[in-house]
A and B are shown apart, each in its own frame.
Chain A
Amino acid sequence: MASTFYNEILTDHNIRPGHKYKLDGANMVLEGVNPSCGDDILLQLKVENGIITDGAFVGDGCAVSQASCDIMLDMIIGKTTEEAKHLSGLFLKMIKGTVTEEELEELDEAGALQDVSHMPARVKCAVLGWHTMDEMFGEEEEKAKEKAKAKKNKA
């Protein structure tokens, strides 16, 4: 029997996720879906003064999508949104196969998903949580920009 890339970190986060529940008091919520395979998550974050003070997700999907999202939450809770975005950038680099040794160290447990870089069919699953978070922050920035613009126009 050939070995698979389902290492203990991955399967543990899938079967016993630490952050899979409905988060009361979340102020940023966004759904992420992979329509072709049915992976579906609802990412919920509590962000105060640019710091992610708490986070959780609910959803259905393959082990890769669910574990990846759980690992991500482990890593970003307590960090600033800027730090979270930086980690997301590193994660995507890892999936594209262009990450350095040092960067991989920074990715900590998320490094358990490194083998996905050789599995094009599973890339979408691995990045779902991270993409959803990026989109969340992107939308927030757009809103802030528009607000600033409206303020400027008023002035």
Chain B
Amino acid sequence: MSAVNNHAWTETEIRKIRADFPLLNNTEYAYLDSSATSQKPQCVIDKEKEYYEEFNANPFRGLYEISVKSTDEYEEARALTAGFIHAGSADEIVFTRNATEGLNLVAYSLGSILVHKGDIILTSVEEHHSNMLPWRQLAERTGAVVEYVEPEPDGSLNPEKIKAMLKPNTKIAAFTAMSNIFGYTNDIKTIARYAHENGTVLVADGAQSVPHTKTDVQDMDCDFLAFSGHKMLGPMGIGVLYGKMEWLKKMPPFLTGGEMIDSVSLDDIVYAPVPHKFEAGTVNAAGAIAFAEALRYIGRIGFDRIEERENELCTRLLEGMKKIPHITVLGSEKAEEHHGIVTFKVDGVHPHDVSTILDADKIAVRAGHHCAQPLHQYLHIPSTTRASLMFYNTEEEVDRLLASAARIRTEMGYPD
């Protein structure tokens, strides 16, 4: 399980990993829906339990031992998160509920000081609704305009196309670092450079990219990056917003209330410094501390090994899919550009019927528009089926999906 290993994963290693995830051993299902939410290893579940059993106390408030411990561990989780994405400082990490909340925070707070009537917010057709609707709402509030970049056939966003669309009054550009439909990793680093040359703030949606690839926010040079804990082995209800300090300092708070101030009188408010200014009310300390455990778990395996394993499984799935008539996979031909995300359509069969047949064979996938309706409209497909893999999946599970997928058409009454 060390990062220096560069041989294929052995069966012992795979078995050891599988043993860490109780749900995988408690279900007959082949769980192939990790892009919706990942499963959790025992150590994460134990950590959340340990928090509530041993040191649950409201962080930042109490002056007694367990409240201090709660505060310390919460702040340690922040520092660990900063290290995980290579942020310059732990203070640039704001804990949120999820990526959606992080993106809304930026749209409201940064939007209120930066975006005015007639300004432009640039995003893309392939965004998850979470990275589209907050910008459209911002545009509605301010009289700004949202413009959309169209994706390439392989699902990537072309930085040159983005560069050509940037205008003097494009104040914010917001793009996904990895599409939840195509699995393609967008070149945020180049996009950020072009945005900055134009004086545009670059917001990246990392909900899919951070769980599957190594993230270095300083190298990418994005101004903001939002992601969710639950898609990367952490509990639900904890997410992260990374922001550059220069922006976080200028931005007004998003929510106001408890434990986000230095002092309040009836005439005056002095807000707490960043990041606490953005964490009003009692925080999800248990979630953040368990999330830190998830980061440690991922760190012990290492992204080199994770990517290698996910690529191995994804290659098997893509190769198998190519052999099944009437199935088309969306996006790139190359498995390494999918990061475990394989979205497909079956000729003449609605994705809900696909999902029902797979369900009968105890295979969990997602069917529908995957919170990316505009992309489906753009592709002229009402909806799709998505299998999403993670390193804890097995060849056997991939083969089960392939066998089940191969019988969908005949099951639906077609001759082949």
Contact surface of A with B, Cβ cutoff 8 Å:
1-6, 8, 11-12, 14-15, 37-38, 60-64, 119, 122, 125
In the complex, the answer to whether B356 meets A11 with C-beta atoms within 8 Å is no
B162 proximity list for chain A (CB < 8 A)? none
A125 proximity list for chain B (CB < 8 A)? 352
Task: Evaluate whether A1 and B413 lie within 8 angstroms (CB atoms) in the complex, with A38-B382, A62-B352, A125-B352 already known.
Answer: no
Q: Give Cα distance in the complex from A153 to B361, angstroms.
A: 63
State which of B144-152, B298-306, B404-412 sits at the interface with chain A: B404-412
A64 proximity list for chain B (CB < 8 A)? 352-353
Q: Give the residues from 350 to 381 in chain B that come closer than 8 angstroms, CB to CB, to chain A.
A: 350-353, 356-357, 360-362, 368-369
- Is residue B403 contacting chain A, with contact meaning CB distance below 8 A? yes
A61 proximity list for chain B (CB < 8 A)? 350
A14 proximity list for chain B (CB < 8 A)? 412-413
In the complex, the answer to whether B353 meets A15 with C-beta atoms within 8 Å is no
Q: Which 3 A-B pairs have the closest CB atoms?
A: A11-B413, A62-B350, A62-B352
B356 proximity list for chain A (CB < 8 A)? 4-6, 119, 122
- Is residue B348 contacting chain A, with contact meaning CB distance below 8 A? yes
Task: Evaluate whether A63 and B382 lie within 8 angstroms (CB atoms) in the complex, with A2-B362, A38-B369, A122-B352 already known.
Answer: no
Task: Evaluate whether A63 and B360 lie within 8 angstroms (CB atoms) in the complex, with A15-B348, A38-B382, A122-B352 already known.
Answer: no
- Is residue B255 contacting chain A, with contact meaning CB distance below 8 A? no
In the complex, the answer to whether B361 meets A1 with C-beta atoms within 8 Å is yes
Q: Give Cα distance in the complex from A1 to B360, angstroms.
A: 8
Task: Evaluate whether A4 and B368 lie within 8 angstroms (CB atoms) in the complex, with A37-B352, A61-B350, A63-B412 already known.
Answer: no
Closest to B376 in A: A38
Q: Give Cα distance in the complex from A3 to B360, angstroms.
A: 7
Write the nearest CB–CB distance from A40 to chain B, whole angstroms: 9
Write the nearest CB–CB distance from A114 to chain B, whole angstroms: 15
Closest to B350 in A: A62
Closest to A37 in B: B352
Q: Give Cα distance in the complex from A119 to B356, angstroms.
A: 9
Contact sample, A vs B, 17 pairs, CB 8 Å cutoff: A1-B361, A1-B403, A1-B404, A2-B362, A4-B356, A6-B353, A8-B413, A11-B411, A11-B412, A11-B413, A37-B352, A38-B369, A38-B383, A62-B353, A63-B350, A64-B352, A122-B356
Closest to A7 in B: B413
Closest to A9 in B: B413
- Is residue B64 contacting chain A, with contact meaning CB distance below 8 A? no
Q: Give Cα distance in the complex from A5 to B382, angstroms.
A: 23
Closest to B406 in A: A1
- Is residue B19 contacting chain A, with contact meaning CB distance below 8 A? no
A1 proximity list for chain B (CB < 8 A)? 361, 403-404, 407
Residue of A14, A15, A62 ringed by the most chain B CB atoms within 10 A: A62
Q: Give Cα distance in the complex from A125 to B411, angstroms.
A: 18
Task: Evaluate whether A2 and B361 lie within 8 angstroms (CB atoms) in the complex, with A61-B350, A62-B352 already known.
Answer: yes
- Is residue B349 contacting chain A, with contact meaning CB distance below 8 A? yes
For the A-B complex with A4-B357, A6-B353, A38-B369 known, give 7 more contacts whose Cβ atoms are closer than 8 Å: A1-B403, A5-B356, A6-B412, A15-B414, A60-B382, A64-B353, A125-B352
A38 proximity list for chain B (CB < 8 A)? 368-369, 382-383
B357 proximity list for chain A (CB < 8 A)? 4, 6
Q: Give Cα distance in the complex from A3 to B353, angstroms.
A: 13
Write the nearest CB–CB distance from B408 to chain A, whole angstroms: 10
Residue of B352, B361, B414 ringed by the most chain A CB atoms within 10 A: B352
B368 proximity list for chain A (CB < 8 A)? 37-38
Q: Give Cα distance in the complex from A8 to B414, angstroms.
A: 11
